[in-house]
A and B are shown apart, each in its own frame.
Chain A
């Protein structure tokens, strides 16, 4: 274990801390079954037809989904509204829940790794991190 430098912490004071072997993290993508998705599809396609969604109750938005106070433009203090869908149960149509995959936004692990400077390089500015 000690032969692999990536499995060791470096102790700057005394001695060394040896750690267990590197255990891979098996990715962060996750999947979930989304019960409301079926109802949403039913509403959109009409398939099944006789579910609650098909009767026009749809996706109720309390608080208004176009935002109150603007789409959070810089300078504005308004926030987007939030709404609820109380028709969480699927319609009785033919659609079935399917697996969805994370698809939007920057993932937790997708950032470029940090780029360090050789300690002999003269810095051009400085900043400070403290403990919070």
Chain B
């Protein structure tokens, strides 16, 4: 995941779990079950449970967001130049390719089998880290309180009587500075930004599945507080794709709150979120 993962409050070693997620869901490992699946369109392919569940949740997220998040986006990502791990640099870009074929992916729940249409390949990067964090927290069954932070995607659980966990949100243009902070007893937070992984003017890793082009909604960053890290992860990306106005109903539907930053460096919040922010950052 190219991510530092911090687990606080539990002694269980979660490294094997995160390694398992990486091994199964990475699109940069040719031998990963995801890559093998992507090489076999128009076949029913039995996949490991972890991958099956991730695809299932990815498709559910696509439906929930009206396609603003879309796991069938891999071809579009590659066409935009994000065809290998980011630290290796961008590859040449090709013509933009809209995604939008998530409704054509079929699942067999009895057999853990997946069927991809011709020309469709999956990328679970937009939800995988969140699923990893959620799964990690689930595994910490003996820990009454725990925080897992995977490069900014984090989940919190506290015990009765505990104080809240203070969450600081970094400024998108200066990660060393804090833009806002709030406290949670339970929940998950994820942040997406168009400034994080860029390889040219207007080229960044958050692709609008509907156009195949980098999202240009007027938002440069979105921090979402949701019930699960996977939800927060998906909703943060959906906010960037949809823009503030269209994202608000979606956030409301999933009882999530958000901090949004516009290209003009304005900070927008959902109505309730404003009341949860610490005054002293």
The answer to whether A82 and B164 touch (CB under 8 A), given A11-B266, A19-B245, A74-B16, is no
Flag if A79 contacts B23 (CB, 8 Å): yes
**Segment 33-83 of A: residues with Cβ below 8 Å from B:** 34, 36-37, 40, 59, 61, 63, 65, 67, 72-77, 79-83
A74 to chain B, nearest CB (A): 4
Which segment, of B37-45, B77-85, B88-96, B209-217, faces chain A? B37-45
- Cβ of A129 within 8 Å of any chain B Cβ, yes or no, is yes
Flag if A85 contacts B44 (CB, 8 Å): yes
The answer to whether A131 and B172 touch (CB under 8 A), given A24-B253, A108-B64, A122-B163, is yes
Flag if A114 contacts B186 (CB, 8 Å): yes
The answer to whether A30 and B63 touch (CB under 8 A), given A5-B271, A77-B19, A114-B225, is yes
Q: In whole angstroms, how far apart are the Cα atoms of A36 and B44 in the complex?
A: 8
Chain B hits for A73, CB < 8 A: 16
Interface mask (B148-181 → A, CB under 8 Å = 1, otherwise 0): 0101111010100011111111101001001001
B172 to chain A, nearest CB (A): 5
Number of A-B contacts (CB under 8 A): 292
Flag if B151 contacts A132 (CB, 8 Å): yes
Offer 7 A-B interface pairs, CB within 8 angstroms, sorted by A: A10-B270, A32-B107, A88-B42, A104-B53, A113-B255, A130-B175, A131-B192
Flag if A105 contacts B57 (CB, 8 Å): yes
Closest to A76 in B: B16
Flag if A17 contacts B255 (CB, 8 Å): no
Flag if B36 contacts A107 (CB, 8 Å): no
Flag if A108 contacts B152 (CB, 8 Å): no
Flag if B33 contacts A82 (CB, 8 Å): yes
What is the size, in residues, of chain B's interface with A at 8 Å between Cβ atoms? 115
- Cβ of B61 within 8 Å of any chain A Cβ, yes or no, is yes
Chain B hits for A84, CB < 8 A: 40, 43-46
Flag if A131 contacts B196 (CB, 8 Å): yes
Chain A interface residues toward B at CB < 8 A: 5-14, 17, 19-25, 28, 30, 32, 34, 36-37, 40, 59, 61, 63, 65, 67, 72-77, 79-86, 88, 100, 102-109, 111-119, 121-132
The residue from B9, B167, B221, B266 contacting A126, defined by CB atoms under 8 A apart: B167
B77 to chain A, nearest CB (A): 15
Q: In whole angstroms, how far apart are the Cα atoms of A59 and B225 in the complex?
A: 43
Closest to A104 in B: B109
Flag if B183 contacts A117 (CB, 8 Å): yes
- Cβ of B207 within 8 Å of any chain A Cβ, yes or no, is no
Chain B hits for A81, CB < 8 A: 46, 48
Flag if A86 contacts B43 (CB, 8 Å): yes
Chain B hits for A107, CB < 8 A: 57, 60
